[in-house]
Amino acid sequence: MSLVTATIRRDLLLAARNPGEWANPLMFFLMVAALFPLAVDPDPSFLEKIAGGVIWVAALLATLLSLDGLYRPDVEDGSLEQWLASGESLYGLALGKALVHWCISGLPLTLMSPLLGLMLSLPDEAYAALVLSLLIGTPVLSLLGAVGAALTAGVRGGGLLLSLLILPLYIPVLIFAASAVYHAGIGMTYNGQLAMLGAMLALAMALTPFAAAAALKINLLR
């Protein structure tokens, strides 16, 4: 675990030294929300009905922007080969990489979401549901994305392939999260949707690191 901790610290330090890694998805997230009312009806009564869905679609696409580089630098510089030769668990590496990805993409998006909700006239009752759904749902996006990134780590120009692999897996998260925000906005309970997101998170934490580790081993040994 000391090597896993060291890798997490190194990746966070590299992200801090290269602000573009976390700033680009965040700027994309902000621009989508800012431009959407200009392209459709800016009427608040219309925007409040779709604000949750728009924010979640923007968050999903912003998450995809930074997935392609999750393992690729480590494959290119030989770090993954050294990790495998050291005998350390690839499960720990995959889980740590997903955690770093969430810290530099999902967490900033979650913190920024109330501002976007204000821009899109989100109902006051829906802010808690929006933040909670992002707080639970974005780690699922990072964990699922880590599997796709591991599968395409050794493929040149694998960004499109990564999107095709991961987007179908993101759809259930998008449906339940956007539903939670919408139901909160109309005064209905949304505990069921959050419970489903929590179940997805628990399942993803249990299974996706094994899948990502297997994909990395295939890429390294072929």
What's the rounded Cα separation, in Å, for the pair 141 and 63?
Answer: 7
Please count the structural domains in the chain. 1
Give the distance, in angstroms, between the CA of residue 173 and the centroid of all CA atoms in the same chain. Answer: 11
Q: CB of 153 within 8 A of CB of 81?
A: no
Q: How many secondary structure helices (H) and strands (E) does the chain include?
A: 10, 0
Q: What is the pLDDT at residue 222?
A: 60
Q: What is the pTM of this model?
A: 0.89
Q: What is the pLDDT at residue 172?
A: 94
Q: What is the pLDDT at residue 1?
A: 55
Q: What is the pLDDT at residue 39?
A: 80
Q: What is the pLDDT at residue 157?
A: 64
Q: CB of 29 within 8 A of CB of 62?
A: yes
The per-residue pLDDT for range 185-215, each reduced to its tens digit, is 988 999 999 999 999 999 999 999 999 888 8
Q: CB of 64 within 8 A of CB of 145?
A: yes
Q: Residues of the chain whose pLDDT is less than 50?
A: none
Helix (H, G, I), strand (E, B) or coil at 156: coil
The per-residue pLDDT for range 109-134, each reduced to its tens digit, is 899 899 888 888 899 899 999 999 99
Q: Which domain holds residue 98?
A: 2-221
